[in-house]
Amino acid sequence: MKINLVEKNIKKLKSDIEIIIINSIENSKDKDILENLCFEAKDEAVVLLAEKKKIYVGCEDDDYESVAVAASTAIKKFASTKFKTAKLVLDNLPLKAVSEGVLLGSYKFDKYKSKKEKAKKQELNICVEKITPELENILTESKIISKAVNKTRDMVNTTPEDFYPNVMADVAKDIADESDLHCKIRGEEYLEKNNMNAMLSVGRASIHESKLIHLAYKPKNAKKKIVLVGKGLTYDSGGLSLKPADFMVTMKMDKGGGCSVLGIMSAVQKLNLPIEVHGIVGAVENMIGGDAYKPDDVLVAKNGKTIEVRNTDAEGRLVLADCLCYAQDEIKDIDYIFDYATLTGACVVGVGQYTTGIMGNNVNLKRDIVSKALSAGEYATSLPFNRYLRKTIKSEVADICNIANSRYGGAITAGLFLENFIYEKNMDKWVHFDIAGPAYVEKPWGYHPYGATGAGVRMTLEFLKNIK
Ligand code: BES
Ligand code: ZN
Ligand code: ZN
């Protein structure tokens, strides 16, 4: 879907159909018809008046979510017609939400359908009083951001058969080529030489070699240095602590954190951000077999800490442990270090499917991220650490256990495990994003279709754009 800004009176602008977003039918020219059709101007309500060449869509509020949902609902109706062009008056609507609602709402994943729908060439013209540089900039940025989200969705939706660590590394190389980023891909030999035994163990039973991916965007005179680390479990069977059959389905999404990091990296140069950004992904497959790592094993992570494995399904934290150490060893003077992971089912139970759990020791930073998430169209909430939960991952045989001794607070105890791999000097710069809920949802919601959502991409880009 192509989106243009046009500086023209809506009446003078030629288009096949007009989209009208309303919060009440009271002042509508077509009030009588809408009333007869029992149309109420509620979120997700839509009606096509074919003869009048109008699509009416309800919108109860002027916040990002309502507007993006309205834009997405309208565009799906438009896409179901043969009309080529649609027009819409922007008025006081936020352009970012309109544009992202359209671009994210029209995403389709049909890679595995034998019959593919032909992409129609349709256009949306958004009428504004004056095309200001500010409006142009908002539209350009929202196109870049939506593309990054849709790229992330594509990766996460791809099956484990087609997307394993080496494929993820190839995708990273393509992103690097496209955006002129530095790119290093490390294999198992490197992991072994560099004492990354925790990450290495998780991938041992897989036929696919584990890969450490490191992308970097280094503009001249960068104001800040940010490191993003992602869990890239291209499949999580649970390992020897095997997942029950029903829980294994959807575990292609366990690369969601890593894919979001790659998605973000695909946008940083295009957004011209004046900051240095590193994207590090641990791409690994957690499988079973004679060579599998086992409950009872003790692993030595890159920072020398020993980990008692009590459950091989708590594998993401092991991969992240080494990747976080790698990040801090390789990159000096970090301003922020964020990690992204579909880390715990507990986070989904705790805050629901649509919300990211934000953890760390810097309360102000967490608060800032939650607020950036909301303004970027994502739900996030802060989860609090405390000293008592910190004790639950103590081990009798090693420095720490990879699972807590209590079922309660599983998202937080996983975050506290990661805390062990954040160096003291970086403690206040670190934030952990548990995206287990929103990364992949098995039903459409708002402007998201079934499946991957690209969780983490928009909130992080919003944060990066606003770094002072
Ligand atoms: N990848 C899963 C977490 C997950 C669960 C993501 C559901 C998305 C949806 C993770 O590796 C895992 O299996 N975690 C375990 C931890 C437990 C063994 C302490 C979990 O959440 O059950
Ligand atoms: Zn697992
Ligand atoms: Zn996992």
Using alpha carbons, select from 148, 379, 132 the residue that is nearest to residue 273. Answer: 148
Using alpha carbons, select from 465, 461, 455 the residue that is nearest to residue 258. Answer: 455
Instruction: Report the Cα 342 to chain-centroid distance in Å.
Output: 10
Structure tokens at 375: 């303004």
Please give the distance, rounded to the nearest whole angstrom, from the Cα atom of residue 236 to the centre of ligand 2: 6
Largest CA-CA distance found in the chain, in angstroms, rounded: 77
Check if the beta carbon of residue 431 is closer than 8 Å to that of residue 336.
yes
Alpha-carbon distance of 399 to 82, in angstroms, equals 64
Give the mean model confidence (pLDDT) for residues 109-131. Answer: 95
Alpha-carbon distance of 4 to 283, in angstroms, equals 38
Please give the distance, rounded to the nearest whole angstrom, from the Cα atom of residue 248 to the centre of ligand 1: 10
Alpha-carbon distance of 428 to 440, in angstroms, equals 29
> Does 236 contact ligand 1 (Cβ within 6 A)?
yes
User: Can you tell me which atom of ligand 1 is nearest the CA of 243?
Assistant: 13
Give the mean model confidence (pLDDT) for residues 59-83. Answer: 97
> Does 321 contact ligand 1 (Cβ within 6 A)?
no
- Which of the following is catalytic: 153, 317, 372, 429? 317
Strands of 79-224, DSSP E: 85-89, 123-127, 182-186, 211-217
Q: What are the pLDDT digits (tens) for 363-419? A: 999 999 999 999 999 999 999 999 999 999 999 999 999 999 999 999 999 999 999
Which pLDDT score, from 0 to 100, does residue 176 have?
Answer: 98
> Does 219 contact ligand 1 (Cβ within 6 A)?
no
User: Can you tell me which atom of ligand 1 is nearest the CA of 413?
Assistant: 19
User: Can you tell me which atom of ligand 1 is nearest the CA of 316?
Assistant: 11
> Does 268 contact ligand 1 (Cβ within 6 A)?
no
Which pLDDT score, from 0 to 100, does residue 8 have?
Answer: 80
Task: Identify which ligand lies nearest to the alpha carbon of 439.
Answer: 1
Which pLDDT score, from 0 to 100, does residue 12 have?
Answer: 87
Establish whether 310 is a catalytic residue: no
Please give the distance, rounded to the nearest whole angstrom, from the Cα atom of residue 452 to the centre of ligand 3: 16
Give the mean model confidence (pLDDT) for residues 89-112. Answer: 97
> What is the band of 84 on the pLDDT scale with cuts at 50, 70, 90?
very high
> Does 254 contact ligand 1 (Cβ within 6 A)?
yes
Which pLDDT score, from 0 to 100, does residue 119 have?
Answer: 83
> Does 434 contact ligand 1 (Cβ within 6 A)?
no
User: Can you tell me which atom of ligand 1 is nearest the CA of 241?
Assistant: 18
Establish whether 243 is a catalytic residue: yes
> Does 346 contact ligand 1 (Cβ within 6 A)?
yes
Check if the beta carbon of residue 53 is closer than 8 Å to that of residue 25.
no
**To 10 degrees, what angle do helices 95-105 and 133-157 make?**
30
> Does 295 contact ligand 1 (Cβ within 6 A)?
no
Give the mean model confidence (pLDDT) for residues 103-129. Answer: 95
Alpha-carbon distance of 71 to 274, in angstroms, equals 31
- Mean pLDDT for the chain? 97
User: Can you tell me which atom of ligand 1 is nearest the CA of 233?
Assistant: 1
Which pLDDT score, from 0 to 100, does residue 174 have?
Answer: 98
Task: Identify which ligand lies nearest to the alpha carbon of 405.
Answer: 1
Give the mean model confidence (pLDDT) for residues 251-261. Answer: 99
Kindly state the percentage of the chain with pLDDT values over 70.
Answer: 100
Pocket test for ligand 1, best of 312, 344, 351, 413 (most atoms within 8 A of CB): 344
> Does 313 contact ligand 1 (Cβ within 6 A)?
yes
User: Can you tell me which atom of ligand 1 is nearest the CA of 247?
Assistant: 7
What Cα–Cα distance (Å) separates residue 293 from each residue in 148, 198, 263, 400? 35, 10, 31, 17
Using alpha carbons, select from 152, 139, 58 the residue that is nearest to residue 97. Answer: 139
Please give the distance, rounded to the nearest whole angstrom, from the Cα atom of residue 344 to the centre of ligand 2: 8
- Residue 428 per-residue DSSP state: G
Q: What are the pLDDT digits (tens) for 32-60? A: 999 999 999 999 999 999 999 999 999 99
Q: What are the pLDDT digits (tens) for 317-353? A: 999 999 999 999 999 999 999 999 999 999 999 999 9
Q: What are the pLDDT digits (tens) for 141-165? A: 999 999 999 999 999 999 999 999 9
| β-pair type (440-441, 451-452) | antiparallel
pLDDT at residue 360 tops 90: yes
- Residue 441 per-residue DSSP state: E
Please give the distance, rounded to the nearest whole angstrom, from the Cα atom of residue 160 to the centre of ligand 2: 15
> Does 286 contact ligand 1 (Cβ within 6 A)?
no
- Which of the following is catalytic: 53, 120, 173, 243? 243
> Does 315 contact ligand 1 (Cβ within 6 A)?
yes
Structure tokens at 205: 């039973």
Pocket test for ligand 1, best of 313, 318, 401, 441 (most atoms within 8 A of CB): 313
> What is the band of 187 on the pLDDT scale with cuts at 50, 70, 90?
very high
Please give the distance, rounded to the nearest whole angstrom, from the Cα atom of residue 375 to the centre of ligand 3: 29
